[in-house]
Amino acid sequence: MSKVEAELLALHGGPPVTVEKFPDAWLGPAEIGEEEIAAVTGVLRSRKIFRFLHEGDASYCNRLEKLFSERTGCEYSLAVGGGTAALICGLVGLGVGEGDEVIIPGHTYIASASAVLIVGAVPVLTEIDSSLNMDPDEIENRITSRTRAIMPVHMRGVPCRMEGILEVARKHGLKVIEDAAQACGGSYKGRPLGSFGEVGCFSLQQYKIITSGEGGVVVTRDKEVFDRAAIRHDSAMCYWKPEGSSVRPFAGENFRMNEMEGALGVVQFGRLDGILATLRSLKKRIVEPLAEIEEIQLQDVPDPEGECAVQAAFFTKDPETARLFAEALRAEGIPAGSIYDKGIPDRHVFPFWEYVMEKGSSDRHGRPWTSPLHDPNRRYHSAMLPRTLDLLGRAVVLQLSQVFEDRHADWIVEAVKKVARGVL
């Protein structure tokens, strides 16, 4: 094969970089093995699925909470039924509710916005920067008399610039609730993600770094915040637990984690650092050579040592190029995608959050939007965060997996170089 032939993009009929299919297996679920099976079946054999039938370390849910407390250095942890439930309990823990505003980035999973609405508050959307996370410099001009909290989201395992966010929060007396659903085990400048704000929230759903099937964890250093979160997570808990609480009873729901989920979560937690180490070295092998390609600009990762490295992303010059670039990579045999494409609804991009954009509600009064406590003039539209859409539109994302081997990383590099020469 001549050099010219090898250089012809697979998209244009040339030979692809690889015909071997990349493994589908990904993150925590790929690691499920005998240990997980033994732990979960052990719970079944005990016939006690409800967590509060087990005391102390005999409860997997208790053990999972302890693991998260140790990891984050936050004394109090609460295992719940999911990441969204963790955010709801965290917001309730902070006392956020009707009439309050919470600042969230325009690039996050829709669940971040949903949790804010469910507690009766409204989300105020803010711009991201080239890290694809909340831009600390954009927060201040979105603060109003109703703002109560800022919710940084460590998207795609990349840490937010927390010092800037905390500075704005402290200056204005706002609470910080971190959505670390996609960044379990990550850190920023040596400090664990989830431990910067008053509250940190994790998800252990199937698509996150480790999984309990469904599940989430709230961490905090504040006993009262924890008590309030715990009360919200069980409709009658306030009558027997948390012991010695000074919080007056209020309504809760059922966000409890069960022991089968706890068991799966505890075993998976043991795999977390191994998964992260493999992902980080794989990503290093990919981004170092990509940094030399002039036609693309790598996503800015504030702390590569601490990030979770579940993906690698870069920007092209315009959205049309990004779409074409991703298509050309797929033709070369490389799993790749663009993030914001007007034709493809992706609930990680704010214009596709219809129930925010159109102020959807479950009740006939249209709450919480119509509450007299909220600003009636607050509007949402897809042009409100131009920089966010520009960045997301120009981004190409490569999903990484700890089961990839060096050859997969090398194919990715080869294909990106080839496409950069061919498309741009």
Query: Which residue ranges make up the site for ligand PLP (CB under 6 A)?
Result: 82-84, 108-109, 111-112, 153, 179, 181-182, 203, 205, 216
Q: Which is nearer to ligand PLP, 215 or 242 (CB)?
A: 215
Least Å distance between CB 41 and ligand PLP?
24
Least Å distance between CB 206 and ligand PLP?
9
Q: Which is nearer to ligand PLP, 9 or 80 (CB)?
A: 80
Least Å distance between CB 335 and ligand PLP?
19
Least Å distance between CB 109 and ligand PLP?
4
Q: Which is nearer to ligand PLP, 81 or 306 (CB)?
A: 81
Question: Does the CA dihedral 342-343-345-346 come out positive or negative?
Answer: negative
Q: Which is nearer to ligand PLP, 312 or 415 (CB)?
A: 312
Least Å distance between CB 11 and ligand PLP?
31
Least Å distance between CB 84 and ligand PLP?
3
* Tokens, residue 387: 């920089």
Least Å distance between CB 108 and ligand PLP?
5
Best CA proximity match to 212, nearest among 400, 402, 403, 28: 28
Least Å distance between CB 156 and ligand PLP?
9
Q: Which is nearer to ligand PLP, 84 or 131 (CB)?
A: 84
Q: Which is nearer to ligand PLP, 108 or 195 (CB)?
A: 108
Q: Which is nearer to ligand PLP, 220 or 321 (CB)?
A: 220
Q: Which is nearer to ligand PLP, 43 or 132 (CB)?
A: 132
Using Cβ positions, the residue closest to ligand PLP within the complex turns out to be 83
